[in-house]
Structure 1
Amino acid sequence: MIKNEKIKASEVHVTGLNGEDLGIMSTKEALTLAKQLKVDLICTSLMSSPPPCRLIGSGQAKQEALQEKQQTRKREQAPKIKELRLTPQIEDHDLETKRQQAQRILQAGDAVLLVVKISGKEGAKAKELLEDLLKELSPYGRKQTGIQLSGKQAAVQVNPV
C-alpha cells in the first residue's frame, strides 16, 4: 500500500472520504487536498493508468490493511476436519447434542467427519443414523462422498456450504 509522497505517478484518479468520485487530478493537487482534510492519500492499485487513489483517515488505513491481511490468511488456510464419533445405540438427546456440535463446526467453516463405531450386524442401523444426520445438516453442509462402511465403522465427511 503506497501512500502520500511515495506515490510516483503524475496523475491519479481520486475517490473522496465518503466514496464520492473526485476525478483525475495531478498528484500534487491530490496531496494538497489530503493535507487540507488531514487525511492520507492511499494508492489502491498500480496496474491502471492513472492509478486509483483514495482519501482515508490515517488510522483507518492501517486498520483496513490489517483486516485485509487477516482475511487473506483466513482464506489460505484449508478447512480443518473435525471428527464426531457416535454409536448406533445413541440416545435421542445425545444425538441432538452431536447434531448441534456438527452444525456449529460447519457454520465455523470447518469440515465434519461423522464416524459411527459398529460391531456385528449394526451396519444398516449405522447407515440409517448417518443418513438422518445428513438430512438434518443439509442446510449447513454437503457430504463429500457417500457413506463408507468399512469393517468396524461407518463414516461420511460433510463439508461446509
Structure 2
Amino acid sequence: MINEQIRDKEVRVVSETGEQLGIMSSKDAQKLADEQGVDLIKIAPTAKPPVCKIMDYGKFRYEQTRREKEAKKKQRVIEIKEVRLSPNIDNNDLNTKANMARKFLTKGDKVKVTLRFRGRELAHVDNGKAILNSFAEMLSDVAVVDKPAKFEGRSMIMFLAEKR
C-alpha cells in the first residue's frame, strides 16, 4: 500500500536513510512524505503499529525485484534422475548403473531407482528387494536412502539422495 491507500490511524515511520521518526498518525506521515516529494510505503502491515517508510516508490519496486532475482540465482533446483534395473540384472550391468547413479549424485541430483518386473518375475519380488539393497550398499559412500524400496504396481521404487 502506498500514500492514500494507507488507512491506519497510527503508523511507525522510518525515513529514507533508515532513521526512526517515531509513531504518528497516517495523515501526518503522508504530509511529511509530500513535503519531501516522495511516497509513503507500508512495509510491514502485520506489525503493531504498521511500519511505513518514506521513499520513492519506483526505487522501492526496483530494489524489491533485484532482491528477488538475487534470491532466485542462489537457489538450487534438485532434479530427479532415474536408473532402471531388472530383476535378472548381471553384476557388471549393476556396476555400470551404479556408476551412472554415482555421477548423478555427485552433481547434486536425487536418483530414483526403479526395478521393473515383467511376467513370471513377479514371483520373485524378494530377489528384487535384495538387488535394490545391494545397489544402495554400492553407493553407501556417496548416497543415503531417501525413501526405502516400495512396491508400486509392477515395479519397486527407491530414492537415493546425496550424503551431506
Indicate whether the TM-score tops 0.5. Answer: yes
- Per the alignment, residue 74 of structure 2 pairs with none
Contact 2:146 2:159 in 1 (8 A): yes
Superposed CA deviations along residues 19-39 of structure 1, whole A, max 9, x for unmatched, are 432211232332233334443
- Report the AA paired with residue 42 of structure 2: C
Residue 143 in structure 1 maps to residue 146 in structure 2: yes
- Give 5+ residue unaligned stretches, structure 1: 72-79, 107-111
Q: Match of 2:12?
A: 13
Contact preservation (8 Å) 1:85, 1:117: no
Determine the C-alpha separation between the residues in 1 that align with 2:43 and 2:67. Answer: 15
Give the aligned CA root-mean-square deviation in angstroms: 4.2
SS of the equivalent of 2:142 reads helix
> Of 151, 154, 157, which aligns to 1:155?
157
Distance of aligned partners of 1:151 and 1:45 in 2 relative to their CA distance in 1, 3 Å threshold: closer
When residues 51 and 152 of structure 1 are mapped into structure 2, their CA distance, relative to the original with a 3 A threshold, is closer
User: Match of 1:51?
Assistant: 50
Unaligned residue ranges in structure 2 (runs of 5+): 72-77
Aligned twin of 1:109: none
How many pairs align?
140
Tell me the percent identity.
22
Kindly state the Cα deviation for residue 42 of structure 1 after the two structures are TM-superposed. Answer: 1.4
The C-alpha deviation readout for 1:48-103, integer Å capped at 9, x for no partner, is: 553221234312443538978xx9xxxxxxxx9945123352415423333246x2
Instruction: Specify the structure having the higher radius of gyration (Cα).
Output: 2
TM-score normalised per structure 1: 0.57
Instruction: Specify whether residues 137 and 30 from structure 1 end up closer, same or farther in structure 2 by C-alpha distance, changes over 3 A only.
Output: farther
CA contact (8 A) 1:86 1:114 kept: yes
Which residue does the alignment assign to 2:31? 32
